[in-house]
């Protein structure tokens, strides 16, 4: 199936640093979703974006829906050890349509 | 957020047996649920879309006779891996859409076929 291009694939950062990851697609999406997955668990929804240009925050997390509707980014400020995990972006064309997932960004935080 | 319950969390079975995985939306009705498969260090790959009261829609390359999906009610979808073989070993995850178009996931099922 189709996948979104997500970068970087992995990153190591020092605790306290800010993190940025992005997702790009050749297709337009109407909804962008960002998830975090811990090993052996299902993905947990972090942020949902519904409009082009929308900027939404959830605590230390901020995500934006790109103007072209073909991209989105996620920022994590002042990273902490529990931010470790794999982050996935996901795009959706309609309310009950299937979701296409990004390739994932593995985040490691060095204390 | 909405809660999706999936069980079992893990299952080990012998080759040739069938395994059923359940996915329930606990606090909302889900006319549509999705089943994903995930290999280690990879992203989620959609297997099928489960529609309440009708046949599931399978993605290309997914054997519908191998992976039986039943969505008998607005809160329950099941995935049955029939005649499981070692290559079916994987992490299976279900998801459901809430009323605000957000997609919520179950906790996943690790299947190991011996």
Which B residues 90-109 touch A at CB under 8 Å? 91, 93, 95, 97, 100-108
| Band of residue A47 on the pLDDT scale cut at 50, 70, 90 | very high
Q: Are A90 and B100 inside 8 Å of each other by CB?
A: no
Spatial CA neighbour of B20 closest among B54, B70, B63, B60? B70
Residues in chain A within 8 Å Cβ distance of B98: none
Residues in chain B within 8 Å Cβ distance of A49: none
The tens digit of pLDDT for each residue in A2-45 reads: 568 999 999 999 999 999 999 999 989 999 999 999 988 999 99
Q: Are B102 and A48 inside 8 Å of each other by CB?
A: yes
Mean pLDDT of chain B: 92
Burial of A42 (0-12, 13-18, 19+ CB in 10 A): buried
Cα–Cα distance measured from residue A84 to residue A89, given in angstroms and rounded to the nearest whole number: 16
DSSP string, B7-22: E-SEEEE-TT--EEEE
Mutate to test the interface with B, among A58, A63, A96 (most CBs of B within 10 A): A96
The tens digit of pLDDT for each residue in A51-107 reads: 999 999 999 999 999 999 999 999 999 999 999 999 999 998 876 677 889 999 999
Instruction: Tell me the average pLDDT across B70-74.
Output: 88
| Band of residue B54 on the pLDDT scale cut at 50, 70, 90 | confident
Q: Are B102 and A50 inside 8 Å of each other by CB?
A: no
Mutate to test the interface with A, among B41, B101, B104, B111 (most CBs of A within 10 A): B101
Cα–Cα distance measured from residue A55 to residue A65, given in angstroms and rounded to the nearest whole number: 7
Is the separation of the CB atoms in A106 and A10 below 8 Å? yes
Residues in chain B within 8 Å Cβ distance of A23: none
Q: What is the pLDDT of residue B1?
A: 63
pLDDT > 70 fraction of chain B, expressed in percent and rounded: 97
Cα–Cα distance measured from residue A107 to residue A28, given in angstroms and rounded to the nearest whole number: 27
Residue A8: asked if its preceding bond is cis (omega within 30°), the reply is yes
Q: Are B46 and A1 inside 8 Å of each other by CB?
A: yes
User: DSSP alpha helices (H): ranges in B17-86?
Assistant: none
| A78: three-class secondary structure by DSSP | coil
Burial of A24 (0-12, 13-18, 19+ CB in 10 A): middle
- Other CB atoms closer than 10 Å to residue B13's CB: what's the count? 16
Pairing mode, strands A99-101 and A31-37: unpaired
Cα–Cα distance measured from residue A34 to residue B14, given in angstroms and rounded to the nearest whole number: 37
Q: Minimal Cα–Cα distance from B17 to chain A, Å?
A: 23
Cα–Cα distance measured from residue A81 to residue B100, given in angstroms and rounded to the nearest whole number: 31
């Amino acid at each position: 199936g189709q996948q979104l291009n997500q970068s970087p694939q992995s990153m190591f950062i020092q605790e306290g640093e800010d993190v940025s990851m992005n997702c790009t697609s050749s297709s337009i999406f109407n909804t962008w979703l960002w998830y975090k997955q811990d090993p052996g668990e299902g993905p947990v929804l972090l942020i949902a974006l519904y409009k082009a240009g929308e900027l939404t925050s959830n605590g230390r997390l901020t995500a934006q829906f790109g103007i072209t509707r073909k991209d989105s980014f996620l920022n994590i400020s002042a990273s902490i050890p529990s931010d470790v995990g794999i982050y996935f972006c996901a795009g959706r064309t309609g309310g009950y349509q299937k979701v296409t997932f990004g390739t994932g960004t593995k985040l490691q935080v060095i204390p | 957020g909405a809660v999706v319950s999936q069980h079992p969390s893990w299952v080990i079975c012998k080759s040739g047996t069938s395994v059923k995985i359940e996915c329930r939306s606990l606090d909302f009705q889900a006319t549509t649920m999705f089943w994903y498969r995930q290999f280690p260090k990879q992203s989620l790959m959609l297997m099928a879309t489960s529609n309440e009261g009708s046949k599931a829609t399978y993605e290309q390359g997914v054997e519908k006779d191998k992976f039986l999906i039943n969505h008998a009610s607005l809160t329950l979808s099941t995935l049955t891996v029939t005649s499981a073989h070692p290559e079916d070993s994987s992490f299976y995850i279900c998801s459901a859409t809430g009323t605000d178009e957000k997609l919520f996931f179950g906790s996943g099922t690790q299947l190991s076929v011996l």
